[in-house]
Amino acid sequence: MRIGSVVRSTKETAIEVELNLDGTGTYDVSTGIGFLDHMLEQLSRHSLIDLKLRAKGDLHIDYHHTTEDSGIAIGEAFSKALGERKGITRYGSALIPMDETLTRVALDCSNRPYLIWKVNFTRAKLGEMDTELFKEWFQAFAQAAGVTLHVENLYGENNHHIVESCFKALARSLRQAIEIDPRKADAVPSTKGVLGGSL
């Protein structure tokens, strides 16, 4: 079983994460931010990554630190669970519709973090959460997880649908990328023999 756990404690947040890449999509998530919890539950359910997360943050200031640090902690646990990344399919992509919205994600578990974010919102907030924070979460996750991540909302009107389709597309892409390739289960999927570093 590919399992990773992280305890992250700062003056701004205290976060504990446990995840299992070979799970069934069970989740137990509590960040104190209802909408973020909902998105992380979607991430777990559609990636089949079991996720347990407890976060306590300075929500009396705003939601920024808790959102960003949860992305960092999940990304670090994900990277730990992947280990040398031996045998993985490595690449994943998904095109996810949600009513009037369509979002595309393509990613490479390359151990070279990078984010392309082509997502626009027409509202500053969803509930109590600033919509600009979703980019912060994806950036933090990509950086800590060592994932080259491209997220593009092709079209959509409802901001809730746009965000949710981004998380679901990430989930389905991760599910594909972390699958073990039965033809090369013993090899790192790179001509260098290692993932990370220079191209």
| pLDDT value of position 136 | 98
Does this model's pTM top 0.85?
A: yes
* Cβ partners under 8 Å of residue 161, min gap 6: 98, 99, 100, 101
Task: Note whether 57 and 8 are within 8 A (CB).
Answer: no
pLDDT digits (tens, 9 = 90+) for 177-199: 999 988 776 766 655 666 675 44
| pLDDT value of position 182 | 87
Start-to-end CA distance of the chain, whole Å, equals: 29
Task: Note whether 74 and 53 are within 8 A (CB).
Answer: yes
13-20 and 27-30 as β-strands: parallel, antiparallel, unpaired?
unpaired
Which domains, and CATH codes, for the chain?
3-177 (3.30.230.40)
Mean pLDDT of the chain: 94
| pLDDT value of position 183 | 79
Please report, as a single letter, which amino acid is at residue 24.
T
| pLDDT value of position 188 | 67
Q: How many of the other CB atoms lie within 10 Å of CB of 194?
A: 11
pLDDT digits (tens, 9 = 90+) for 90-108: 999 999 999 999 999 999 9
pLDDT digits (tens, 9 = 90+) for 51-85: 999 999 999 999 999 999 999 999 999 999 999 99
Please report, as a single letter, which amino acid is at residue 180.
I
HEC assignment per residue over the chain? CCEEEEEEECCCEEEEEEEECCCCCCEEEECCCHHHHHHHHHHHHHHCCEEEEEEEECCCCCCHHHHHHHHHHHHHHHHHHHCCCCCECCEEEEEEEECCEEEEEEEECCCCCEEEEECCCCCCEECCEECCHHHHHHHHHHHHHCCEEEEEEEECCCHHHHHHHHHHHHHHHHHHHCCECCCCCCCCCCCCCCCCCCC
| pLDDT value of position 175 | 98
